[in-house]
C-alpha cells in the first residue's frame, strides 16, 4: 500500500483536551504507511472576506499545510451539538479565497470524543455537511463516536483498553484504505 501524509486538526483549543489525547492515540496506532502531522490553527484571526486580497501569514501557513498533505483528519469535540467555533473559523479560512478552496478533492475523515453518551455524533454530522460543501471526499464508514471515560487514553496517547485500541487501529487503517481508493480512482489534479 502507498504511503500518504495526513494533516490532522484537533478541534479543541483546551490544554487538557480529550480530543488531543485521541489524536495522539491515532498517531500511535496508525499503519506505518500513514504519516500523521497536526495542522495548528489557534492563532488565526476571525475570518472575513476583507482578507481575501491579502491573506495574513498565519492563514497562508494554514493553506500551505493543507496543500502539503494528501488527506485531512478532523478529531473534534462537539460544542452545543455542532463543531467548535475555532475549528469552523479555520475551515472558513482554508476554503477561501473563492476558487482556492483547500479542501477540494482532498480526502477527509472525522472522529471525536466527548464525555457524553453520543460521543460527538451530532457535531460530526454538522462537520460532514460542511466538508461535503467543501467538495472533500469524506470517509462514510466506519464512523467513530467515542464516549471518553477517565483514563481511557493517557496524556501522551496510550490507550489503556485493548479492545478500544483495536477499534481505533481499525478506524485509522480503514482511513488509509479510503485515501488509497480515492487516489486510485483519480489523482487529485486530474
Half-sphere exposure of 160 (CA within 13 A, CB side): 10
Write down the number of H helices and E strands in the chain: 5, 5
Of 19 and 95, nearer to ligand FMN (C-beta) is: 19
Q: In angstroms, rounded to a whole number, what is the distance separating the alpha carbons of residues 156 and 165?
A: 14
Task: Give the count of beta carbons closer than 10 Å to the beta carbon of residue 58.
Answer: 14
Spell 102-116 as b/e; 16+ CB within 10 A means b: bbeebbbbbbbbbee
Of 31 and 116, nearer to ligand FMN (C-beta) is: 116
Site for ligand FMN contains 81 (CB under 6 A): yes
Restricting to residues 9-68, name those near ligand FMN by CB under 6 A: 12, 14, 17-19
Identify the H or E element spanning 147: strand 145-147
Cα-trace Rg, the chain: 16
Encoded one letter per residue, x for contact with ligand FMN by CB under 6 A and - for no contact, window 100-139 reads --------------xxx-----------------------
Measured from the CB of residue 170, what is the shortest distance to ligand FMN in angstroms?
Answer: 22
Of 20 and 63, nearer to ligand FMN (C-beta) is: 20
Measured from the CB of residue 26, what is the shortest distance to ligand FMN in angstroms?
Answer: 14
Considering CB under 6 A, how many residues would be counted as binding ligand FMN?
Answer: 13
> Contact residues for ligand FMN (CB under 6 A)?
12, 14, 17-19, 77-81, 114-116
Amino acid at each position: 500500500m502507498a504511503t500518504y501524509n495526513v494533516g490532522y486538526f484537533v478541534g479543541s483549543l483546551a490544554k487538557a483536551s480529550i480530543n488531543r489525547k485521541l489524536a495522539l492515540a491515532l498517531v500511535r496506532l496508525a499503519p506505518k504507511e500513514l504519516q500523521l502531522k497536526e495542522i495548528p490553527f489557534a492563532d488565526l484571526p476571525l475570518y472575513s472576506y476583507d482578507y481575501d486580497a491579502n491573506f495574513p501569514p498565519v492563514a497562508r501557513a494554514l493553506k500551505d499545510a493543507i496543500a502539503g498533505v494528501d488527506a485531512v483528519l478532523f478529531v473534534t469535540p462537539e460544542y452545543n451539538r455542532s463543531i467548535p467555533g475555532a475549528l469552523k473559523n479555520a475551515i472558513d479560512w482554508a476554503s477561501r479565497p473563492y476558487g482556492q478552496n483547500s479542501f477540494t478533492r482532498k480526502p477527509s475523515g472525522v472522529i471525536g470524543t466527548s464525555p457524553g453518551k453520543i460521543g460527538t455524533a451530532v457535531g460530526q454530522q454538522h462537520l460532514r455537511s460542511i466538508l461535503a460543501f467543501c467538495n472533500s471526499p469524506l470517509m462514510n464508514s466506519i464512523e467513530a463516536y467515542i464516549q471518553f471515560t477517565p483514563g481511557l487514553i493517557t496524556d501522551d496517547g496510550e490507550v489503556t483498553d485493548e479492545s478500544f485500541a483495536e477499534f481505533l487501529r481499525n478506524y485509522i487503517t480503514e482511513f488509509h484504505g479510503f485515501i488509497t481508493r480515492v487516489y486510485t480512482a483519480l489523482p487529485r489534479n486530474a
